[in-house]
Amino acid sequence: MAYNASALTDYVQVNRDTLIRDVILGYVGGDTISKMRKQLGIKETEKLNYLDVTPVLQDGKGCGFNASGSTDFSERDITVKLLKINDQWCADDLIGKYAEFLVRYGANANAEEFPFESEILGEINRKLDKQLEKIVWQGDAGLGITGLIGLAEGADSASTVNVSFASGDSVYDKVKKVIMAIPEELLDEAVVFVNPSDFRSLVFELLEKNNFHIPAEEIEKGEFYFPGTTIPVHKTMGMANGNGEIYASVWDNLVYGTDMMNDKEEYRVWFSDDDDVHKLKIKFAMGVKTLYPDAVVLGK
């Protein structure tokens, strides 16, 4: 007889909104997603509507009213892809193993969780978070999702500020080239994104150049100001094991799209009487876009 997991659904459903939010919006431990601009309510392909306001200063001497300036509305398409995770566990698989004491039988066993539920779900959340971080930057061809780097190389390449690296360039040289290519109007808010390996190399290169003023806590948290500038260099886990690109933009230009406004999102665990297993279903939509392609610098 299987153990009673009648309270399990209640346990998960009570925490459904938190679980969905934390996973989809990168609050488990994600870095990029949690800081990006969010566009909610996207079912498949929708418009990113934004405006550009240009006030014009005029000579104020004398009477009269002369309207001048512009308020331009623009739009770009953002597409999200519906994704899911399905998994299941059979508690009887633990019989004969060290953890068999966790398997409960009997109608009065009152098993609220399947064995190691909190550990398993926590690890799934963390691993999923890492996968989504990578997809945001590098995309996933198998899932049909283009990441921020792919957009800059493809659909947005005509507007993206492109920087070419020479074969002998150090990471310091590459980052410097990217910073020098950032449009002046973005300098106050620009961020340079590098993969973890290049971040580590840059730290050692700066030490070799006698730049010892970078606080250890900034290195530890994965972001410090490039010497001589107010522009942070950000260690970006989603760019790991890529092609060594260096990307610069402002956080508010990077858009993460999802729905979060209807019942398409699911985070559900239940006991299936049909086959005596606990099942997990996570379902949600995600996609990325940049508002202004010309506010992106891509070095490669």
- Evaluate whether 39 touches 259 at the Cβ level (below 8 Å): no
List the Cα angle 145/149/150 in 5-degree steps.
45
Confidence of residue 184 (pLDDT cuts 50, 70, 90): very high
> Higher pLDDT residue, 40 or 50?
40
Quick one: pLDDT at residue 248? 98
pLDDT at 255 over 70: yes
Instruction: Confirm whether 3 is domain-assigned.
Output: no
Could you give the CA distance from residue 25 to residue 124 in angstroms, rounded to a whole number? 15
Instruction: Confirm whether 205 is domain-assigned.
Output: yes
Query: Radius of gyration (Cα) for the chain, nearest Å?
Result: 25
pTM over 0.75: yes
67-81, 172-186, 211-225, range with greatest mean pLDDT: 172-186
Look at the block and give the residue holding tokens 């961020």: 191
Query: Domains in the chain: how many in total?
Result: 2
Claim to verify: residue 14 and residue 136 sit in the same structural domain: yes
Instruction: Confirm whether 270 is domain-assigned.
Output: yes
Task: Give residue-wise pLDDT tens across range 148-161.
Answer: 999 999 999 999 99
Claim to verify: residue 130 and residue 240 sit in the same structural domain: no
Claim to verify: residue 125 and residue 181 sit in the same structural domain: no
Claim to verify: residue 129 and residue 141 sit in the same structural domain: yes
Claim to verify: residue 50 and residue 192 sit in the same structural domain: no
β-sheet bridge partners, residue 225:
232
Quick one: pLDDT at residue 109? 34
Claim to verify: residue 139 and residue 39 sit in the same structural domain: yes
Give the DSSP per-residue string, 68-82: -EEEEEEEEEEE-EE
Output the domain CATH number for residue 192. 3.30.2320
**β-strands 266-272, 254-257 pairing:** unpaired
- Output the CA torsion sign for 7, 8, 10, 14: positive
Range of the domain at 222: 161-254+293-299
Quick one: pLDDT at residue 110? 34
Task: Give residue-wise pLDDT tens across range 7-49.
Answer: 444 444 445 566 666 667 766 556 899 899 888 888 888 777 6
Claim to verify: residue 173 and residue 48 sit in the same structural domain: no
Could you give the CA distance from residue 298 to residue 300 in angstroms, rounded to a whole number? 7
